[in-house]
Amino acid sequence: MGLLGVISTRLVMERSDLLRNGTAKLMENEFGQTSVFLTDKTALILRHGNKPNNHILPHLINHCANLKALKDIGVTEIVGINSTGSLKKNLSPGMIVVPDDFITLTATPTIHQNKAVHITPSLNEKVRQKIIKAALNSDLKVIKQGTYWQTQGPRLETKAEIKMMANFADIVGMTMANEAAIALELEIPYACACSIDNFGNGLLDEPLSMEEILEGTRKNADLMIQLLHSYLKLFS
């Protein structure tokens, strides 16, 4: 494996050496600017930015600029680290899901402008299996298959929406499908590990709050960092 691309959030990576020891490099391409944090083995992008007071909302993330920056810097594969909500009561916070498929009913961004180029969306199976192996090697509880439903955000889902989604998917988030589609257009192998940080709205009696989601992300951060270090140890 050459340089590993990682796409995650500041909330997950703030205690990781991949961020703390990374050298920030401002990258610019035809889609815009983004910062990449470089170590000798990794190129990390914080999809929501690195400024807590200037959080980039999911529907405003420049996925094309992010993925093209990783392409330009020479990554050979990408691991996405995604925070998700559970759509099933048997999938509880603290678990890690490595999805093998996804659903999104909103338009996904594309690197192609005024050009008819069609892809068959998918997640890279080789990278998926490496993520699973890395998790098991660290004794992390991992669900080896699942379907990720991407919503547009930034609002959360209604109870009725969660109930409907649960018929077709296992977890819900706001970013992964966009990253997967663009990575495929750029011919970069991409798969992801999803931490379950909360139950979807309506699965529990208590109303879902953003603070509950953020607290779940903080609790699971060390698990996701552990998985990444295991991945690098096994495959770099």
Residue 177 CA to residue 63 CA, distance in Å, equals: 10
CA distances from 30 to 33, 34, 111 (A): 9, 11, 9
Query: If pLDDT is split at 50, 70 and 90, which confidence band does 116 have?
Result: low
108: pLDDT confidence band, cut at 50, 70 and 90? Answer: confident
pLDDT digits (tens, 9 = 90+) for 95-106: 999 999 999 998
* Residue range of the domain that includes 47: 3-235
User: Is the preceding peptide bond at 154 cis, omega within 30 degrees of 0?
Assistant: yes
- The pLDDT of residue 212: 78
- What distance in Å separates the CA atoms of residue 116 and residue 79, rounded to the nearest whole number? 28
Domain count across the chain: 1
Q: What average pLDDT is seen over the chain?
A: 93
Q: Are 7 and 191 in contact (CB under 8 A)?
A: no
CATH number at residue 158: 3.40.50.1580
Q: How confident is the model at residue 76 (pLDDT cuts 50, 70, 90)?
A: very high
Torsion of CA 166, 104, 217, 100, to 10 degrees: 80
pTM for this entry: 0.93
How far apart are alpha carbons 54 and 229 in whole angstroms? 28
pLDDT tens for residues 201-220?
999 877 777 777 778 788 88
Q: Residue 135 CB: number of other CB atoms within 10 A?
A: 23
- At 151-206, the pLDDT tens digits run 998 898 999 999 999 999 999 999 999 999 999 999 999 999 999 999 999 998 77
